[in-house]
Amino acid sequence: LNLCNKNFPNMNSNDSSKAKHDLLVDVCLAAKYEGDSLKHYSEKLNLTYTDSPSQLCTELARSFADIGDIIRGKDLYLGNNKKDKLQIKLKEYFEKIYNSLERSIKSQYDDTDKNYYKLREDWWTANRETVWEALTCDAHGTYFHATCSDLNGGCSQAHEKCRCPKTSGGKAIKAGGDVTIVPTYFDYVPQYLR
């Protein structure tokens, strides 16, 4: 995943109201490019390994989880300077978002280390559906097992763009259907277990 695309270093983190919107736009752009690259890679794999086709939606779900880990500061990948630079930039943006909050809300996110982990977690929860839509924008696969609810209260598969269909109310079956169109919980599974 390249969250350090050409837009990210140029974003204006001095304007707190603009920072939260620019961050979502940039994360969605990165997710869209990630989805496109995985789609093409998956197509090539399927031509080579016809007896065991790649599951694009599963690949996208794993990448989605990685994006969530990066945003929330939970990414376990070590080994290059770009990750450190990205985390510094993300902390700057979340500090601007934190500073723009009303005092009554701000107290929920007090963070002496200035990592803003709770704020980052809540930002991810609020925006994960939008990021999933960007990631699956050009996907035409199905999810590997039934993850959506159907009209009869049973289970159905995510078919269109790896999303739960509108006929299920756009709801996934787990957790009482509060996950909307995102048919995965990989982003809540610790990275070392995925």
Whether pTM > 0.85 for this model: the answer is no
**Residue linked to tokens 């998956």:** 42
Taking the C-alpha atoms of residue 99 and residue 79, their distance in angstroms, rounded to an integer, is: 31
Distances (CA, A) of 130 to 55, 133, 141, 193: 22, 5, 18, 25
Tens place of pLDDT per residue across the chain (194 aa): 444 444 444 445 455 555 556 899 999 999 999 998 888 887 777 777 766 656 788 888 899 999 999 999 998 776 677 778 888 999 999 999 999 999 999 999 988 899 999 999 999 999 998 999 899 887 765 555 666 766 666 676 666 677 776 655 545 444 444 445 677 778 888 888 87
Q: Could you tell me the domains of the chain?
A: 8-139 (1.20.1310.20)
Taking the C-alpha atoms of residue 147 and residue 145, their distance in angstroms, rounded to an integer, is: 6
Per the CB < 8 A criterion, the answer to whether 143 and 158 are in contact is yes
Distances (CA, A) of 114 to 26, 96, 170, 183: 22, 11, 36, 32
